[in-house]
Amino acid sequence: MANGRIAIMGAMPEEIEPVINALDNVHTIVYGDNKYYEGTYHGKEVVVAYSKIGKVFATLTATTLIEKFGCDLLLFSGVAGAINSKLKIGDLIVANGLCQHDLDITAFGHPFGYVPEGNVCIPTDEGLRHIAKEIAQKKGLALQEGLIATGDQFVADPERKEWIAATFNADALEMEGASVAVVCNALNVPFFVLRAISDSADMDASFNFDEFLESSAKISADFILSMVDAIER
């Protein structure tokens, strides 16, 4: 892979704080009403940012990391809610593709998640997924792979969860990944999305989320840093 900066993104401070704490030579730059943390990890240049929650902020942050800070590869670390019953709190899932479950122009005869000249599902970088599988094997971690659905909703409704699972064949839910996928796909930047399961996207989601956010975010961040080590620059 080309020699350049690696972008590391999360949606919330808790998702990137463990990453920033592991960096050397950290410099903070304020741009576009957000903070970007430039630093190095074992000699590799990285730029870290949390976008704030939701698709619009994630789009803004991903674009800024690529266009202003010159990142040529993007790794997303964070938490997600499970909709596949096989996923439990603390499990890791890597997205093989991402879709927008709240994108709906079906009134015009299009499928859910689709707009003209777009795609229902955008695949992540196969090479980065391969690296992740090797890391998981070395660490003795179970790493699931599946489709992650994104929307500007914190889903705490079992019926909505079941609809998303059935409509998109999705395994987990979050609020940023698919918008990052759209940006990276359009700008030809390899990207990777890793989520640690923090809740089960059911009626107890708000309670579980608060309890497990910090621990799940640390699991995901540790894995992302191992990815940085393994990526050839």
Instruction: Look up the CATH number of the domain holding residue 78.
Output: 3.40.50.1580
Q: Which residue range is the domain that position 155 belongs to?
A: 5-230
Please report the pLDDT score of residue 1 as a whole number. 45
- Both tokens of residue 57? 């902020």
* CA proximity to 193, closest of 220, 170, 213, 212: 220
Distance CA 203, CA 95 (A): 24
Residue 15 appears among annotated catalytic residues: yes
| pLDDT above 70 (res 203) | no
Task: Give me the mean pLDDT over the 133-148 stretch.
Answer: 94
Task: Give me the mean pLDDT over the 161-175 stretch.
Answer: 95
pLDDT bin (cut points 50, 70, 90) of residue 147 is very high
Strands 34-41 and 44-50: antiparallel
Identify which has the larger pLDDT, 203 or 30.
30
Considering the candidates 14, 15, 91, 171, report the single residue annotated as catalytic. Answer: 15
Considering the candidates 104, 162, 199, 202, report the single residue annotated as catalytic. Answer: 199
Q: Which helix (H) or strand (E) holds 225?
A: helix 205-230
Please count the structural domains in the chain: 1
Residue 199 appears among annotated catalytic residues: yes
Give me the chain's average pLDDT, please.
92
Task: Give me the mean pLDDT over the 189-202 stretch.
Answer: 85
Residue type, 185: N
| In 53-148, alpha helices (H) | 55-67, 126-139
